[in-house]
Amino acid sequence: MSLLDNIHSPADVKALPPEALGELCREIREYLIASLSKRGGHLASNLGAVELTVALHRVYDTSRDRLVFDVGHQCYTHKILTGRIAGFTDFRELGGMAGFPKPRESVHDAFVAGHASNSISVALGMARARTALGADYDVAALIGDGALNGGMAFEGLSDAGKSGEPLVVILNDNGMSINEGVGGIADMLGRMRTRVEYIRFKKWYRSSLMPHMRHLSGALSRGKRWLKERIITENMFDDLGFEYIGPIDGHDIRKVENAIRWAKEYRAPVLVHVITQKGRGYAPAEKAPEAFHGVGAFDAKSGVPKYTGEDFSSVFGRALTELAGEDESVVAITAAMKEGTGLIGFQEAWPERFFDVGIAEEHACAMAAGMAAQGLKPVFAVYSTFLQRCYDMLIHDVALMGLHVVFGVDRSGIVGRDGETHQGAFDVSYLCSVPGMRVYAPSNFREMRSMLRKAVLEDTGPVAVRYPRGGEGLWKADTSGETVRVVKPGTDVTIVAYGTEINEAIVAARMLNGSGVSAQVLKINTLCPLDTDAVMDAVCRTGALLVAEEACAAGCVGRQLLAAAEESGVALRAARLVNLGSGLLEHGAPEDLRRKTGLDNGSLAEQVLEMLHGKDET
């Protein structure tokens, strides 16, 4: 009988004797490695946060205290300890347990997570609500050193430090930002981690004052002021009004628990700096933590991934590396996603022209604009969902001056198992509202290469190339020379699609052929500016239209086409828009989500029949 078998809620964790906690952590690690090797997930960060999470559950009651995760992919131990170990059997599948904290899944999940750097702001909001409403619970934010680089985290620290609200920020510093060498903040943390004098000073400081802390907070505050006036500020956190504790060995569970307990009881903004090791306890992940950040299935013994195939990201990265060889003004920018966006090779080939700014998408975008204004050709590779954070910079810094910044918009459309925080549902809507923005949608690797080439070397002004997670499908021709292209002729109905959705449209048309319906398939290559005349010319030949797109309904291509048709007096026999709708798309296998949204080939064929049939009846 293992310890883990008897953990059904955080109360069981609190009931364990301290000497059993090491064994519990060992069992959790073993379970995580075995479980994730089968179906993938975020491994390295979770292995690093086991002791920290156990300690948090020994101090806080997460059913009423509010523990706000930042990014949240390090929540697996938290899910295990809050009665959700069974969820790992259908983990990240449609209808199964999510890979990120979800309040609808458990009362122990205080807030949705998935994007970076928001946790301090959210936690401060909760702390202020508690104070305003006279409630009685504690609030903590758990943020990684990578997410701390994001500007919103700084905004949160600045306001929280000043607020005086009892609030604990736990900095889970696994050296992410330090290893990548991004930013002055990483350097600062690096110095803090290793500065012996600093730690000695803190030890003296706290050993003399901590035992009497609650009574001595006035004296403490005076003492600190005295030090400050003599230029001895401790660090940036202290500057912003936080009481700083650390650095603490994040794998010494007793120390971590003590520090968090003290911080909770201090009744003021406290930052606890915990040093953890990514991949801790699993040799392959300790050796190459980045390779085990987000993984697919792998061999548990060797750590060797079970599948590695070519995908749009890798094709993008190689194509960009080539373009940089042809034009020395080409530079690549990433916001802490060089692996995900396929830029490792670029960095190796052109280290001087590669810029990883850390989790700082807004800065990346504005910096790219500055580069473009002075003659570089910057290419910012970024996930669709993370580019949302740049909406203002797209308009203000890039579009207002019509600057030639290229956006490699990765993970567009249905992304899959990471769920609603990661689906690329909104980029068509927000990119097409940016003045002068050009948006290409390659459907395969050849088009990816030629559209990127056109975007970087030939176009002017802002350009985005929008491509999906994963690989290409049956359609392999390069049609990038045209804004729109009929890829299959037909007379009864037109199915319009773009990106890899074109593959579903083509198969649907073949299916319809079997039902006696001749469907024309039209592929759009340039989403913006949209060549509505060319599309409508082709559509009018069939008189009926279905537009299938992996994009939210608001501002989608289909609406723009139908509006143009109505405005120019074209009366279609039948028209239907199939897209991701106005809601949110949860986690699940991409093929399951495609079926759910009616975007798979079978559903498309059915909807065409329904549309034509329904119209025939009237």
389 is catalytic: yes
Q: What HEC string does 114-153 produce?
A: CCCCCHHHHHHHHHHHHHHHCCCCCEEEEEEHHHHCCHHH
Determine the Cα–Cα distance for residues 480 and 451; give it in Å rounded to an integer: 6
Q: What is the DSSP string of 69-114?
A: ESS-TT-HHHHHHTT-GGGGGSTTSTTS--SS--TTT-TT--S---
Which residue in the list 234, 257, 361, 420 is annotated as catalytic?
Answer: 361
Give me the least distance between CB of 388 and a copy of itself, in Å please: 4
Residues in the chain, total: 618
Q: How far apart are CA 455 and CA 116, in angstroms?
A: 29
Using the minimum distance from each CB to a copy of itself, give the nearer residue, 150 or 499: 150
Task: Name residue 378's beta-bridge partners.
Answer: 331
Complex with a copy of itself: residue 33 or 398, whichever CB lies closer: 398
Q: At closest approach, how far in Å is the CB of 401 from a copy of itself?
A: 5
Distance CA 407, CA 440 (A): 10
Nearer to a copy of itself, 385 or 503 (CB): 385
- CA–CA separation, 527 and 560 (whole Å): 10
DSSP codes of every residue in 481-507: TSSEEEEE--SSEEEEE-TTHHHHHHH
Nearer to a copy of itself (CB atom), residue 420 or residue 504: 420
Q: How many angstroms separate the Cα of 548 from the Cα of each of 121, 504, 598? A: 38, 9, 9
Number of neighbouring beta carbons within 10 Å of residue 95: 10
Report in angstroms how near the CB of residue 527 gets to a copy of itself at its nearest.
11
Residue 555 Cβ vs a copy of itself, minimum distance, rounded to whole Å: 4
Q: Is residue 206 flagged as an active site residue?
A: no
- Comparing CB distances to a copy of itself, the nearer of 40 and 175 is 175
Q: How far is the CB of 200 from a copy of itself (least distance, A)?
A: 10
The catalytically annotated residue of 79, 92, 278, 417 is: 278
Burial 445-483 (b: 16+ CB within 10 A, else e): bbbbbbbbbbbbeeeebbbbbbbbbbebeebeebbbeeb
Q: Which is nearer to a copy of itself, 80 or 572 (CB)?
A: 572
Sequence-distant (≥ 6) Cβ neighbours of residue 562 within 8 angstroms: 545, 547, 575, 577
Q: Is 162 a catalytic residue?
A: no
Shortest reach from residue 572's CB to a copy of itself, in Å: 6
Write out the catalytic residue numbers.
278, 361, 389
